[in-house]
Amino acid sequence: MAENSGTDPAVNTNADENAAKGGTIIMVTVKTPKDKEEIAISEDSSVAQFKEEISKRFKAKQDQLVLIFAGKILKDGDTLNQHGIKDGLTVHLVIKTSPKASGGSTSQASAPSPGVSSSNRSTAGAGNPPPASTANQSQGTGPSAAPAQPGNLLSGFGDLSNLAGLGMGSSNFMELQQQMQRQLMSNPEMLSQIMENPLVQNMMSNPDLMRQMIMANPQMQQLMERNPEISHMLNNPELMRQTMELARNPAMMQEMMRNQDRALSNLESIPGGYNALRRMYTDIQEPMFSAAREQFGNNPFSALGGSPDGSGAQPSRTENREPLPNPWGPSESSTTENRGAGSTATTTTTTSTSGSTPSVSNPLGVGSATVGNGIFNSPGMQSLMQQISENPQLMQNMLSAPYMRSMMQSLAQNPEIASQVLMNNPLFAGNPQLQEQLRHQLPVFLQQMQNPEALSVMTNPRAMQALMQIQQGLQTLQTEAPGLMPKYIQMPMILIPGGIPGAPLSTGGGLPSETPPASAPTSTPAAGANPSQQQLIQQMLQMFAGGSQSTQTPEVRFQQQLEQLSAMGFINREANLQALIATGGDINAAIERLLGSQPS
Amino acid sequence: SAAAADVPRNFRLLEELEEGQKGVGDGTVSWGLEDDEDMTLTRWRGMIIGPPRTIYENRMYSLKVECGPRYPETPPFVRFVTKINLNGVHNSNGVVDTRAVSALAKWQNSYSIRVVLQELRRLMMCKENMKLPQPPEGQIYTN
């Protein structure tokens, strides 16, 4: 290659600069454990100059570079000559990444970034979705947690965010979900934020609750039947706690994964070990994966469940394999029906796995967005509606989930949490207008949910269809005669509960009452958010324990506020009531609302 | 006679010197003469890059390797310069216990400095070693 003698005509522009420094140019190979580059440098250069070239080529900062030649570390002040570095020789390079990063070159993207970033190893990759999804399944609880996480089938939230997307113009639900996922994937920060959401954390620190939720999922139950080990795992509170701890702490997760890998690779080397592993894989992992594919909401937890089982026993193999199937990817098989049948609302959001078919909550979610938006008539919405009517099963399944019901009720009683839940949806964050609308509309339709009749309506496909027609009629009417819409809010709202249940479901993660959730969803302006939230949370908790409920009509609830309003001079009692309902009893907000509609 | 043994020895060591300079191997260890003027090719320096996913990760360990007059018939004498907590390395002075490193214990004259360094690195990855608490980075043995 390069000649030893004489000035080599510039091999590259760098050589020119280097030549200016005097001396012959030599080609030195710079080698990292992963990489190898040839760098032209003047033989009289200093180590510092050499590092400059290297930092350009390897795209790393100069102070991250450590050069080794012939067993000695090259100091910046030394010269290449000093160390006898000549043409054709090799210098070893170590790129120091941040303190805890992988040794050797940075090409090992074991990245400290938690959550979803695709790690260098598939295991870590597989590990990441699980915590994310587990968190989700466990309920992306908190407001923020819910929709933002990939593979979050559980919370119908994911679907509500779709409606936000609708608001933004996209009519293709799958696209929306993919967008969401992409967004989250590319922004691991989001996930960590979500995980740090005290609501999420609180939820995850309650092992019993987690277990309940997981068990409530029929898919999971199936899985458990097939693989009794899994039920062992689930029933072991210690394990659960550990798992949740893991899910909470992505760094720990990775750590665990690595240990798993190591353990497994050790296992492999034992004679006969490989076969044992293979058996493990076929016995446990495959059913898990197929369960996962049907129901992504399941798998992450199962995979996770395997991990704490450090002994290298069965399920541990799971996360070592390829990354979990992409929940947001093109749907594999299952039609909505398959999914719908036998899956509760939680898992229904399988929309992800299904890909093409919007989940149950979707159409409903769409409903809420459409209110007053005209989005209702978007093609996406309509196809959703179609699907709803075609698959009454879905609706029924979703609504029949016991906790669904109680969720809805609790949520109805406390619209604040619902709005918070919605507001914290990262996707929503991009669309304040939508937020506004939803915030106003939430309380109203929440009221609707309290009405058992509304519930039965929702489960009746024909009724739904009729509703849809009415809604369409109303929409038309609205456009034709804008002044004639007194109760337009009411009807569409009925549809919304479907979407919302997803939300409460997530929040319902049965947070311990001590939680100060107010800290988490800070965006909600609702006055007295804290106590009411706690109240809601308690309700949710009770819900899981069997639930209690109290229903009051808005008039009764807002009796006091109504009186106050009329005392202030707002004599239009109906308008007052509407405003109060819309703002959930917040007098100040109601007043603003009233004043807004009567410019003076 | 001594002279006859020297030729193969020097031959060998020069070969190893060249390999060290050319970066033969996977790039995780490095070696070379301590002093380029050392005509006896006795004193060598080695460097081991701590393996990832171990407690040694991201650290560089400097070693001294001494190839005696009967090398490669006899194994070299190895000691760590950078402080390390590793089974088989004396805590006080970094000297590597010949019995603890199989390449040294069962030395063959086809082995080389590289082999020894690589084995030490492998030891760092053993379960019993990979999590040992380590002294702060940058400390060296003084004796």
- Reduce the secondary structure of A110-152 to three states and give it as a string: CCCCCCCCCCCCHHHHHHCHHHHHHHHHCCCCCCCHHHHCCCC
User: Is residue B104 predicted with pLDDT exceeding 90?
Assistant: yes
Peptide bond into A99 cis (omega under 30): no
| Residue with more model confidence, A67 or A163 | A67
- A292: tokens are 């996962």
Strands of the sheet with B43-49, listed across from one edge: B29-33, B43-49, B60-66, B77-80
- C-alpha–C-alpha distance, residues A257 and A440, integer Å: 45
Instruction: Compute the Cα dihedral for B56, B57, B62, B66 and give only its sign.
Output: positive
pLDDT given at position A572: 86
Strand partners, A93: A67
User: Is residue A149 predicted with pLDDT exceeding 70?
Assistant: no
State the pTM of this model. Answer: 0.36
The count of CB pairs under 8 A between chains A and B is 92
Closest alpha carbon within chain B to A95: B58
Split at pLDDT 50, 70, 90, the class of A316 is very low
The residue written with tokens 């070990």 in the block is A273
State the distance between the two ends of chain A, measured CA to CA, in whole angstroms: 86
Split at pLDDT 50, 70, 90, the class of A565 is confident
User: Is residue A512 predicted with pLDDT exceeding 90?
Assistant: no
Strand partners, A288: none
- A236: tokens are 């072991």
Of A345, A118, A356, nearest to A217 by C-alpha is A345
pLDDT given at position A517: 38
- C-alpha–C-alpha distance, residues A400 and A463, integer Å: 17
SS3 content of chain B, % helix, strand, coil (to 5): 25, 20, 55
- C-alpha–C-alpha distance, residues A445 and A85, integer Å: 76
User: Is residue A356 predicted with pLDDT exceeding 50?
Assistant: no
- A556: tokens are 């009764």
- Looking at A456-470, A523-537, B32-46, B69-83, which range is the least confident one? A523-537
Contacts of A43 (CB under 8 A, 6+ apart): A23, A24, A25, A26, A80, A81, A85, A86, A87
pLDDT given at position B121: 94
- Cβ distance of B56 and A31 shorter than 8 Å: no
User: Is residue A540 predicted with pLDDT exceeding 60?
Assistant: no
Interval B78-106 mean pLDDT: 94
- B70: tokens are 């009967």
- Cβ distance of B62 and A99 shorter than 8 Å: no
How close does chain B come to A40, measured CA to CA in Å?
A: 16
| Residue with more model confidence, A281 or A7 | A281
- B interface with A, Cβ–Cβ < 8 A, is 17, 20-23, 26-28, 30-34, 36, 44-47, 49-54, 56-60, 62-63, 65, 127
Interval A23-45 mean pLDDT: 88
- Looking at A152-161, A192-201, A243-252, B14-23, which range is the least confident one? A152-161
For all residues of chain B together, what is the average pLDDT?
Answer: 90
Using a CB-CB cut-off of 8 Å, the residues of chain B touching A68 are 30, 47, 49, 60
Of A416, A412, A413, nearest to A528 by C-alpha is A416
- C-alpha–C-alpha distance, residues A153 and A136, integer Å: 7
- A448: tokens are 């609707």
- Cβ distance of B23 and A29 shorter than 8 Å: yes
- C-alpha–C-alpha distance, residues A171 and A150, integer Å: 20
Split at pLDDT 50, 70, 90, the class of A547 is very low
- Distances from the Cα of A201 to the Cαs of A124, A243, A299, in angstroms? 22, 13, 21
| Residue with more model confidence, A237 or A261 | A261
pLDDT given at position B60: 92
Split at pLDDT 50, 70, 90, the class of A468 is confident
Best of A30, A72, A91, A264 to disrupt the B interface (most B CBs within 10 Å) is A72
pLDDT given at position B51: 92
pLDDT given at position A239: 62
pLDDT given at position A510: 37
Interval A221-229 mean pLDDT: 62
Q: For the residues of B85-131, what is the DSSP string, one character each?
A: --TTB-TTT-BBPTTTSHHHHT--TT--HHHHHHHHHHHHTSTTTTT
**Pick from B27, B32, B49: which is nearest to A69 by CB?**
B32
Of B42, B120, B44, B32, nearest to B84 by C-alpha is B120
- Cβ distance of B60 and A258 shorter than 8 Å: no
Residue type, A30: V
For the stretch A326-351, pLDDT in tens is 666 554 433 333 333 333 333 333 33
User: Is residue A503 predicted with pLDDT exceeding 90?
Assistant: no
How close does chain B come to A71, measured CA to CA in Å?
A: 4
Split at pLDDT 50, 70, 90, the class of A243 is low
Using a CB-CB cut-off of 8 Å, the residues of chain B touching A32 are 27
Interval A465-490 mean pLDDT: 68
User: Is residue B100 predicted with pLDDT exceeding 80?
Assistant: yes
User: Is residue A576 predicted with pLDDT exceeding 70?
Assistant: yes
Interval B20-42 mean pLDDT: 89
Instruction: Compute the Cα dihedral for A446, A450, A453, A458 and give only its sign.
Output: positive
How close does chain A come to B101, measured CA to CA in Å?
A: 20
pLDDT given at position B78: 96
- B78: tokens are 């190895």
Split at pLDDT 50, 70, 90, the class of A550 is very low
- Looking at A294-308, A320-334, A506-520, which range is the least confident one? A506-520
Highest mean pLDDT (candidates A468-472, A548-552, B130-134): B130-134
CB A355 within 8 A of CB A331: yes
State the distance between the two ends of chain B, measured CA to CA, in whole angstroms: 35
pLDDT given at position A527: 38
User: Is residue B102 predicted with pLDDT exceeding 90?
Assistant: yes
Of A478, A513, A489, nearest to A367 by C-alpha is A489
CB A59 within 8 A of CB A71: no
pLDDT given at position A146: 36
User: Is residue A509 predicted with pLDDT exceeding 70?
Assistant: no
Contacts of A401 (CB under 8 A, 6+ apart): A216, A344, A345, A346
Three-state secondary structure call for residue A367 = helix
- C-alpha–C-alpha distance, residues B15 and B5, integer Å: 16
- C-alpha–C-alpha distance, residues A584 and A526, integer Å: 8
User: Is residue A158 predicted with pLDDT exceeding 60?
Assistant: no
- C-alpha–C-alpha distance, residues A416 and A583, integer Å: 9
- Cβ distance of B47 and A92 shorter than 8 Å: yes
Highest mean pLDDT (candidates A123-127, A159-163, A304-308, A318-322): A318-322
Highest mean pLDDT (candidates A160-164, A514-518, A572-576, B58-62): B58-62
pLDDT given at position A224: 62
Q: What are phi and psi of A79, to 5 degrees?
A: -110, 165
- Cβ distance of B23 and A70 shorter than 8 Å: no
**Pick from A71, A88, A108: which is nearest to B52 by CB?**
A108
User: Is residue A558 predicted with pLDDT exceeding 90?
Assistant: no
Closest alpha carbon within chain A to B56: A103
Strands A25-31 and A90-95: parallel
Q: What are phi and psi of A135, to 5 degrees?
A: -55, -40
Contacts of B112 (CB under 8 A, 6+ apart): B12, B16, B19, B72
- C-alpha–C-alpha distance, residues A498 and A151, integer Å: 19
pLDDT given at position A562: 86
For all residues of chain A together, what is the average pLDDT?
Answer: 57
How close does chain A come to B93, measured CA to CA in Å?
A: 19
Interval A37-59 mean pLDDT: 90
- C-alpha–C-alpha distance, residues B9 and A239, integer Å: 59
Scanning A460-515, the segments in alpha helix (DSSP H) are 461-480, 490-507
The residue written with tokens 């460097």 in the block is B47
Of A161, A136, A140, A200, nearest to A520 by C-alpha is A200
Contacts of A432 (CB under 8 A, 6+ apart): none
Q: What HEC string does A5-24 produce?
A: CCCCCCCCHHHHHHHHCCCC
pLDDT given at position B124: 94
CB A154 within 8 A of CB A273: no
User: Is residue B120 predicted with pLDDT exceeding 90?
Assistant: yes
How close does chain B come to A520, measured CA to CA in Å?
A: 35
- Looking at A72-76, A121-125, A585-589, B99-103, which range is the least confident one? A121-125
pLDDT given at position B122: 94
- B97: tokens are 């216990």
| Residue with more model confidence, A227 or A80 | A80
For the stretch A393-431, pLDDT in tens is 555 555 444 445 555 555 555 555 555 555 544 444 445
Split at pLDDT 50, 70, 90, the class of A33 is confident
Please state, for a pLDDT cut of 90, what percent of chain A lies above it.
4
CB A580 within 8 A of CB A556: no
| Residue with more model confidence, A146 or A258 | A258
Q: What's chain A's Rg over C-alpha atoms?
A: 29
SS3 content of chain A, % helix, strand, coil (to 5): 65, 5, 30
Respond yes or no on whether ipTM tops 0.90. no
- Looking at A159-173, A175-189, B6-20, which range is the least confident one? A159-173
Q: What's chain B's Rg over C-alpha atoms?
A: 15
- C-alpha–C-alpha distance, residues A427 and A434, integer Å: 10
Split at pLDDT 50, 70, 90, the class of A144 is very low
How close does chain A come to B35, measured CA to CA in Å?
A: 9
- Cβ distance of B30 and A32 shorter than 8 Å: no
CB A281 within 8 A of CB A317: yes
pLDDT given at position A327: 63
Residue type, A470: I
- C-alpha–C-alpha distance, residues B15 and B99, integer Å: 27
Q: Where are the beta strands (DSSP E) in A296-356?
A: none
pLDDT given at position A535: 56
- Looking at A30-39, A380-389, B40-49, B76-85, which range is the least confident one? A380-389
Closest alpha carbon within chain A to B43: A71
User: Is residue B77 predicted with pLDDT exceeding 90?
Assistant: yes
